[in-house]
Amino acid sequence: MPGHPLAALLLLLLILCGGRAEAATLRVLVSDALPQPQLITANGVIQAGMVWEMSQQIAAQGADRIEYVLLPRKRLELELEEGHFDLACMLNPAWFKPGLHLRWSPPLIAMRNVLVIGPGQPRPEYLSELYGEKLATVRGYHYPTLEQLFASGLLLREDAPTEETLLRKLSEGRGAYGVINQLSLSWYNRQQPEGKRLQAGLVLANASVSCVTPSAGPRSVELHARILHLLGAGFFSEMQRRYLAH
């Protein structure tokens, strides 16, 4: 009966629930410089990877849709500075100039740089054992713990255009040692036959990545609450464990 109070109440509930079910859209910025498995794309479209999983889980906490914006590194920094976004992940505040009006989450994923060792090469116990050797590195990457050794000539830097190129070069015997993120190394080894897999050696640097929102963004508090919930539930540590597994 349309005039029945219960029917009116049900109609009101349907309207309210329908309004809440209408998903909002999160504008998520992603650096196109992120290597696999942090970012996996096909034809310029984000398909998978750690940054995809993180943002999907954060959005799912509020049934939000996602609009991904894939940007070169310099454009990304400009967008962060101007606050034209809701969320960005797999970033470190030390990579950006200070003074930006941003709100950073706690560290979520450990990022460990390791010495990568080519097939058949000896495993050094100390970095000093490699003095005078060439180290495969990635063009444009900064290695704070090694810069002084490169500048003094004790280690010789040999740049590759990407992390994948660096790893492939070592697998093919066109170099003995390099510097790589442990996640990238584990992902690469998954796809290689046993004879072309590379070893992880000395830990050269420890860092981490976080998520970030505009400090004055209308959804900043809400998004950080979602991130903290996922952090407490062990989502980020479990995801890292999966990607590090061979």
Kindly report the pTM of this predicted structure: 0.84
Per-position pLDDT tens, the chain of length 246: 444 444 444 433 433 344 444 679 999 999 999 999 999 999 889 999 999 999 999 999 999 999 999 999 889 999 999 999 999 999 999 989 888 999 999 999 999 999 999 999 999 999 999 999 999 999 989 899 999 999 999 999 999 999 999 999 999 999 999 999 999 999 999 999 887 899 999 999 999 999 999 998 899 999 999 999 999 999 999 999 999 986
- What does R_g of the chain's alpha carbons equal in angstroms? 23
Strand partners, 200: 116
**For residue 17, what pLDDT is reported?**
44
- Cα distance between residue 60 and residue 64, in whole Å: 6
- Cα distance between residue 53 and residue 60, in whole Å: 10
Cβ(170)–Cβ(203) under 8 Å? no
Architecture of domain 110-206: 3-Layer(aba) Sandwich (3.40)
Question: DSSP assignment, residue 95?
Answer: G
Give the CATH class of 24-109+210-244: alpha beta
Q: Give the length of the chain.
A: 246
Burial of 70 (0-12, 13-18, 19+ CB in 10 A): middle
Q: Do domains 24-109+210-244 and 110-206 have the same CATH topology?
A: yes
Q: Annotate 180-226 with three-state secondary structure.
A: EEHHHHHHHHHCCCHHHCCEEEEEEEEEEEEEEEECCCCCHHHHHHH
Question: Cis peptide leading into 37, omega within 30 of 0?
Answer: yes
**For residue 147, what pLDDT is reported?**
95
**For residue 16, what pLDDT is reported?**
39
Secondary structure (3-state) at 172:
coil
Structural domain spans, the chain: 24-109+210-244, 110-206
**For residue 23, what pLDDT is reported?**
74
Secondary-structure breakdown of the chain: helix, strand, coil percentages, each rounded to the nearest 5:
40, 30, 35
The pairing of beta strand 156-160 with beta strand 134-138? parallel
Cβ(32)–Cβ(72) under 8 Å? yes
